[in-house]
Amino acid sequence: MRSDLMKKGLERAPHRSLLKAIGYTNEEISRPLIGVGHAHNEIIPGHVHLDRILEAVKTGIRMAGGTPISFGTIGVCDGIAMNHQGMKYSLASREIIADSVEIMAQAHPFDAMVLIPNCDKVTPGMLMAMLRVNIPALMVSGGPMLTGRFKGKDVHLVSVFEGVGQVKAKTMSEEDLNELEDAACPGCGSCAGMFTANSMNCLAEAIGLALPGNGTIPAVAAARIRLAKEAGMAVMNLLEQNIQPRDIATAAAFENAMAVDMALGCSTNTVLHVPALAKEAEVELPLTRFNEVSRKTPHVCSLIPGGPHSLQQLDEAGGVPAVMKELLATEDGLNLGVMTATGKTLEDNLAKAEVRDREIIRPVNAPYHKEGGIAILYGNLAPDGGVVKQSAVAPEMLVHSGPARVYNSEEEAQKAILGNQIKSGDVIVIRYCGPRGGPGMPEMLSPTSAVIGLGLGGSVALITDGRFSGGTQGACIGHVSPEAADGGPIALVHEGDTISVDIPNRSITLEVAEDELSKRRAAWQPPAPKITTGYVARYAKQVTSGSTGAVLKD
């Protein structure tokens, strides 16, 4: 066993003595030692209940003959960090989370691992570490939050963000917003809707690194506790069969995950995280592959925020296995022979899957949209690509041309939006918000929600080298690469320039002559770093483009 490095033989007597100081018996030390990494804390609603998930996982490991050893990692609540200095630390935390799990697993050579994340950067960070360390492992998330109820309608966190714009537009009273604030987030779990956390928890299941049900079973359900126990038992089976994460996360498995991504209408942040996972798995995954998969995969689920249905409803309809079963009817189908965390192939896992509600999961020949939820746009404004959740764009905004309203920070843009300075037809440009320029590629949920709240979602586009929350809807194009801080074309846009967006044809164009752009490029000067000390200052020097998953340089 790998853990023999720290526990077996005469020379390991001091090591065993330290383990016994914790209270472990000789019997426990002799068993396989299973690291259980978790992100329980008391600031993130998606993580506040992970102590219960942790205990359930540990129970499952003991039931199957292992000794669980828990350790913690950090986490950032994107909602609480939104629209202030804290958001510069969110994406950057992904690398710290990955590194911390790697450190724990290598310094203390566990035989296998179960990882327990739930929110935006924690799930991909833990998955990156799992693939990097590559010992038998799987993850089990804390599950999605239930939707709230307000005046007879389902509501969620983004409803509150949009409520701020509605108050400014005088279509909602402050008293109603206060009541909505109390109702929108009714309890623990990752924010209700196909936002980034739930997107990644579903895709972990689709890749095969989590058990069926991981992405959709509600956080408060007893089934979530049972799933955690099953995860503890499943990792012992993976250890016995010596099935490692890279045996599961193959190129074929990533193809399956991208198809599920498109069918569900997942967050645009998956275009950052999935390539980062592929890099750790040593799988080639160019950005163009997302367009190829999107073109041939129908969007069969209309989930919050782009549609009316919740994660709980998706779970009741059969969850991710039912979506995958439906995708078997597409022209290319799925790769059924891939191995999964169950210790069985995807074909085995899907044998009993069924769609229980044809409104929640539509047939592939009668989808909500013929193409997948995400599109990658290219053009002289984004030579290396920009990302849009096309399934959440109003039909009238799929093709749009308008004057640029240029802002060099999210704060400037938010002030202009809430100050009623944006008019119908405008194209808001928010730049110097990329991985280096932000730094940390901050999300833009506040300005995008304000645009929706003001009733401009059907007439205004927003373009940024930053990124969007999974809760964003509307004609919002993010990850524009190269970013402004690297001298990308988005840095050369002037107030009033015409920008044309054609999502069906995957194009984004700055309607300015090349000779004029050359003059602007010659006059451009890089801005001073916004943060010069600490972790994110170091991160800004090491991070790569959003088009490559914003991974750190080798």
Cα angle 42-47-49, degrees, rounded to a multiple of 5 = 85
Handedness of CA 38, 43, 47, 48 (dihedral sign): positive
Confirm if 275 and 287 have CB atoms less than 8 A apart: yes
Walk along the chain (554 residues) and give the pLDDT tens digit of each residue: 999 999 999 999 999 999 999 999 999 999 999 999 999 999 999 999 999 999 999 999 999 999 999 999 999 999 999 989 999 999 999 999 999 999 999 999 999 999 999 999 999 999 999 999 999 999 999 999 999 999 999 999 999 999 998 998 899 999 999 999 999 999 999 999 999 999 999 999 999 999 999 999 999 999 999 999 999 999 999 999 999 999 999 999 999 999 999 999 999 999 999 999 999 999 999 999 999 999 999 999 999 988 999 999 999 999 999 999 999 999 999 999 999 999 999 999 999 999 999 999 999 999 999 999 999 999 999 999 999 999 999 999 999 999 999 999 999 999 999 999 999 999 999 999 999 999 999 998 889 888 988 999 999 999 999 998 877 888 999 999 999 999 999 999 999 999 999 999 999 999 999 999 999 999 999 999 999 999 999 999 999 999 999 999 98
Residues noted as catalytic: 469
For residues 216 and 121, what is the distance between their CA atoms, to the nearest angstrom? Answer: 18
CA 6 to chain centre: 36
Strand residue runs (E) in 117-173: 137-139, 148-150, 153-155
The single residue listed with the structure tokens 């928010």 is 430
Confirm if 456 and 433 have CB atoms less than 8 A apart: no
Q: How many helices (H) and strands (E) does the chain have?
A: 22, 14
67-72 and 148-150 as β-strands: parallel, antiparallel, unpaired?
unpaired
pLDDT for 472? 81
Nearest Cα residue to 186 out of 144, 224, 228: 144
For residues 440 and 94, what is the distance between their CA atoms, to the nearest angstrom? Answer: 10
pLDDT for 536? 96
Structure tokens given for 148: 């709230």
